[in-house]
């Protein structure tokens, strides 16, 4: 990952808005840290606060947040995490219950919502992802879109540089023949 002072566009594509990783993680801190399934209401309120905070930023920063979020989710899109069963769930025969593609995306969002330290600690330690398989923070996926709409009056109609849908990171899923 780039250090906290490296801008998103860092010369690779001058058309992308600038947002450093440091600023991205500062904004994520508005969420207040780790969210669990038992705190969905609190997480929705936290996302509303983040949306409000983002709506006070310049449009380029809102877009930059969306780009950084997509990249953070993309980097977590790895077989080591996505093939883990859902914590605390089992099939009718007692077998491990697999994550769905949507569930895996929402679990990755929960890791991001937990903040920079938790996010960075997951890499190289797949077992640290396990608790997040039972946490779903889908609301985080939309905060920048809602802020963008509040500020511009237009719907978010951009594709991000990174596709964060499950199994999109070919390096993270080498057995898929990327």
Least confident of 8-12, 53-57, 106-110, 170-174: 8-12
Beta bridge partners of 90: 96
Using CA atoms of 55, 37, 132, 67 in order, give the dihedral in degrees to the nearest 10.
-10
* Mean pLDDT along residues 70-96: 94
Q: CA separation (Å) from 67 to 7, 9, 105, 161?
A: 11, 10, 16, 7
Structure tokens at 88: 């605390």
Confidence of residue 1 (pLDDT cuts 50, 70, 90): very low
pLDDT tens per residue, range 30-75: 998 765 444 456 788 999 999 999 999 999 999 999 999 999 999 9
**pTM score of the predicted model:** 0.87
pLDDT of amino acid 9: 38
pLDDT of amino acid 142: 97
pLDDT tens per residue, range 14-29: 566 679 999 999 999 9
* Mean pLDDT along residues 134-153: 94
């Amino acid at each position: 990952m780039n250090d906290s002072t490296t801008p998103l566009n860092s010369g690779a594509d001058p058309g992308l808005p600038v947002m450093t990783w440091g600023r991205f993680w500062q904004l994520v801190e508005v969420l207040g840290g780790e969210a669990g399934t038992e705190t969905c209401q609190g997480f929705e309120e936290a996302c509303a606060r983040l949306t409000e905070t983002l709506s006070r930023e310049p449009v380029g920063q809102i877009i930059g947040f969306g780009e950084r979020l997509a990249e953070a989710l993309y980097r977590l899109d790895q077989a080591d995490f996505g093939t883990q069963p859902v914590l605390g769930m089992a099939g009718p025969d007692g077998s491990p219950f697999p994550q769905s593609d949507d569930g895996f995306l929402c679990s990755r969002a929960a890791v991001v919502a937990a903040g920079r330290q938790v996010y960075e600690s997951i890499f190289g330690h797949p077992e640290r992802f396990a608790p997040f398989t039972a946490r779903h923070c889908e609301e985080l996926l939309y905060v920048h879109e809602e802020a963008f709409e509040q500020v511009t009056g237009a719907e978010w109609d951009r594709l991000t540089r990174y596709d964060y849908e499950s199994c999109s990171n070919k390096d993270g899923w080498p057995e898929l023949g990327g």
